[in-house]
């Protein structure tokens, strides 16, 4: 009669003993694991953000560069072929008329990827009621403006 039987949970505990509890994970292992996970996700988000600057963001950056009078910054957003066909001083003088005058809201209405490798894009924007179509191309993995619309249609304030 003094015999104990193993409980049904396979832990080998006697009928009158406490229930079996799993071993606890040390807190430092939990914290290190959490830190590694947060770090890995942060790096992944950063890498994806750097690689996903799309055609619409490039057009928006071009508007910002024009408004800020950043001629070289706006030139950096153009394809090499387009830049090579422009006279730097003439281009900068022409773009200077937009400095501080494009304060309205730019709307990206649509972005259409075209070409077999989707290496070209057409971006349609609306700024102060004017609709403009931009042509972009991938160059060294980055979107660049291949041709711009008639910017004289942009209403400057």
- Read off the pLDDT of residues 93-146 as tens digits, 9 standing for 90 and up: 988 988 888 776 788 888 988 887 788 999 999 887 888 899 999 998 899 999
- Which tens digit of pLDDT belongs to each residue from 23-81? 787 888 878 888 988 888 877 766 655 545 789 999 999 989 989 999 999 999 999 99
Cα–Cα distance between 17 and 7 in angstroms, integer?
A: 9
β-bridge partners, 125 = 108, 132
SS3 category, 119: coil
**CB neighbours of 132 closer than 8 A, spacing ≥ 6?**
124, 125, 126, 149, 150, 151, 153, 154
Encoded tokens for 147: 């041709």
Which are the contacts of 37, defined by CB distance < 8 A and separation ≥ 6? none
- 10 Å Cβ neighbour count for 70? 18
Q: Which CATH number applies to 55-151?
A: 3.10.450.50
Instruction: State pTM to two decimals.
Output: 0.63
- What single-letter DSSP state applies at residue 156? -
Residue 123 and residue 113: Cα distance in Å, rounded? 9
Sequence spans of domains, the chain: 55-151
């Amino acid at each position: 009669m003094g015999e104990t039987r193993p409980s049904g949970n396979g832990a080998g505990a006697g009928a009158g003993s406490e229930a079996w509890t799993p071993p606890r994970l040390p807190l430092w292992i939990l914290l290190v694991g959490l830190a590694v996970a947060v770090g890995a996700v942060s790096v992944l988000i950063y890498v994806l953000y750097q690689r996903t600057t799309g055609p619409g963001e490039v057009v928006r950056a071009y508007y910002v560069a024009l408004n800020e009078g950043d001629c070289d910054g706006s030139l950096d957003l153009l394809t090499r072929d387009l830049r090579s066909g422009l006279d730097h001083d003439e281009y900068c003088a022409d773009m200077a008329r937009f400095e501080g005058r494009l304060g309205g809201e730019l709307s990206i209405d649509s972005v259409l990827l075209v070409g077999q490798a989707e290496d070209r894009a057409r971006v349609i924007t609306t700024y102060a009621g004017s609709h403009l179509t931009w042509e972009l191309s991938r160059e060294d993995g980055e979107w660049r403006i291949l041709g711009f619309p008639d910017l004289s249609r942009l209403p400057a304030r």
